[in-house]
Structure 1
Amino acid sequence: MTVHPSLQPYADAWTHSIEAISELVLPLSEGEWNRATPCPGWSVRDVVSHIIGIECEQLGDPRPIHTLPRDLRHVVDEFTRYMEVQVDVRRHHTAPEMTSELEYTIIRRQRQLRNEKRDPATLVRGPLGDQVPLEFALRLRAFDVWMHEQDLRAALGVPGNWDSPGAYVARDILLAGLAKVVAKEAGAPPNSAVVLDVHGELEFMRTVRVDAQGHGTLDKAPSLGPAVTLAMDWQTYVRLAAGRVRPHTVADRVKAEGDPALAEAILTRFAVTP
């Protein structure tokens, strides 16, 4: 049990997902580590390398001194360059090397979380080396490992844990970006509303309300006359909001009612993760 209860849900979600990942990859053959995942340019090995690398950074380990090859097409900006270093440095590691480093990293991180005595507002290293509150950092780690657990499950054909503790963390993080997508990026008109209706393993309904100044807010109350209603299953919502699929590839899984132009604009800009 961590000292601060506000950290516990994220620690529990992180633990559930990281242990599921360990169970998934432990029996893999060398060839299976090379399977492509929904993350552009990343194999199973690359996703696990990313997880190991970021968790090591949370432990305070120095980042590797490593020069990236110039032919990595999925490395397109500062964020992807930063993330790729921890991946590329492990790109030729064998299956036993990967699983042993993952296990050792998990043990170290679990010990760190068990002994965590810092205030949740304490500044720690964030995703790009910047300083963020400890609670926010752990929340991001819970989301990231659950999302990558799903990437690995998709690559390996082993579905599961769509309603695990990490799924609830992911729901809240992905929903946090919805108001901006609707109001600013898709340009929903002032004094309008857009409803998102999600069913499946996690069921919820949210409404984005755009005020007279064009500012969007998210709430749980239904709207009687929304400009657009988007209905989809939970798995499709996650894949769209996390940028794992493009809208046209899951058009048969999304039901859009209302203004077709606005619905298309929202779906085109639906992804809220980097």
Structure 2
Amino acid sequence: MTRAGIAAARMSTAHLAEIVPQVDDAQWELPSACEGWRVIDVMAHLAALASEAVDPPPPDPSLPRNRERYHDLRVDERRGLSHADVLAEWRLSTPRQLDLLEAAQEPPAAGEPVEVPGLGTYPRHLLANTMAFNVFCHLRNDMLAPDGPLPFALPEPTDGEVAPAVEFMLAGLPQMQGPELAATVTRPLVLDLTGPGATTVTVLPADGPDGRLTLAPGADAPTRVRSTALDFIAWATTRTPWRDHCRITGDASAATPFLDRLDII
């Protein structure tokens, strides 16, 4: 899904670009659905990600190792900026970020492993899916109603937008929480995601030296967790409770600890 990732990143970015001119100064200051961040802080986060992709900062061991705290730090650095300055940074760096991600789709660079501190290691081409996930999730879940404060509408999400975001989430699932999450899976269980972005994978208990879960395509376990792929983006990032979206068939005790612990960043 290499090319699909960059297409999805461009599509969600275009949707965000449609929304930005509609937001007034008061709305930028409203609390978003991302705890602790105003709507303008969500834009500052996306601007920071884009700027760091274009001009990576040198390693700094004093920075937080926890990825969420790192994002908070980068947002805090921009809290003194005007709305116009935050949006100018986003507008300047985002097109260059997209061009870099598109260039990274070509071999041999596409297959190079890239470590994303706090999130794991991914083939370079999959970084486009990371952007697709970030923009889609923050726009649809944190900024726009019904969960966010902005009363603007977009077309219903398509498979082309949702599937690449879910692909990144599933690639990150075994890595982001490591043994902490692996300890909750003692028997295989199936994630059955429906609707746009539909996919089915079996989560297998860790059995390798790295202590991580593994995911296999298809359904190969009697216990199933079913939700829409669109809802998965919300509940697997703990924006909404999984119990509001998931139906478990089979042995619920095999799935509940995993679902309670899962938190994709």
Map 1:170-181; keep pairs closer than 5 Å: 170-177=165-172
Cα distance in 1 between the residues matched to 2:40 and 2:253: 40
Q: How many residues align?
A: 251
Cα distance in 2 between the residues matched to 1:184 and 1:78: 19
Of 244, 247, 251, 1:259 maps to 251
Cα distance in 1 between the residues matched to 2:162 and 2:219: 23
Of 80, 93, 97, 2:81 maps to 93
Partner of 2:37: 42
Of 191, 194, 198, 2:193 maps to 198
Q: How far did residue 161 of structure 1 move?
A: 5.1
Partner of 1:149: 139
Partner of 1:207: 202
Q: Are 1:182 and 1:188, in contact at CA under 8 Å, matched by a contact in 2?
A: no
Q: Unaligned stretches of 5+ in structure 1? A: 1-5, 69-75
Q: Does 1:221 align with 2:218?
A: yes
Q: Are 2:101 and 2:128, in contact at CA under 8 Å, matched by a contact in 1?
A: no
Q: Does 1:56 align with 2:51?
A: yes
Deviation track 1:29-48 (CA, whole Å, cap 9, x = no partner) reads 11111222332211211111
Q: Which amino acid aligns with 2:11?
A: H
Cα distance in 2 between the residues matched to 1:39 and 1:133: 28
Cα distance in 1 between the residues matched to 2:102 and 2:251: 51
Of 93, 99, 105, 1:105 maps to 93
Cα distance in 2 between the residues matched to 1:262 and 1:7: 33
Q: Does 1:138 align with 2:128?
A: yes
Which aligned runs of 4 or more in structure 1 are off by greater than 6 angstroms? 114-118, 179-183, 211-215
Q: Unaligned stretches of 5+ in structure 2? A: none
Cα distance in 2 between the residues matched to 1:140 and 1:42: 20
Q: How far did residue 53 of structure 1 move?
A: 0.9
CA gap of 1:84–1:106, structure 2 versus 1, over 3 A, is same
Q: Are 1:210 and 1:217, in contact at CA under 8 Å, matched by a contact in 2?
A: yes
Q: Secondary structure at the match of 2:233?
A: helix
Partner of 1:3: none
Q: Are 2:101 and 2:127, in contact at CA under 8 Å, matched by a contact in 1?
A: no
Q: How far did residue 55 of structure 1 move?
A: 0.7
Q: Secondary structure at the match of 2:50?
A: helix
Using the aligned pairs only, state the percent identity: 22
Greater shift, 211-220 or 262-271, is seen at 211-220
Q: Which structure: larger Rg?
A: 1
Q: Please give the root-mean-square deviation of Cα atoms over the aligned residues, in Å.
A: 3.9
CA gap of 1:259–1:177, structure 2 versus 1, over 3 A, is farther
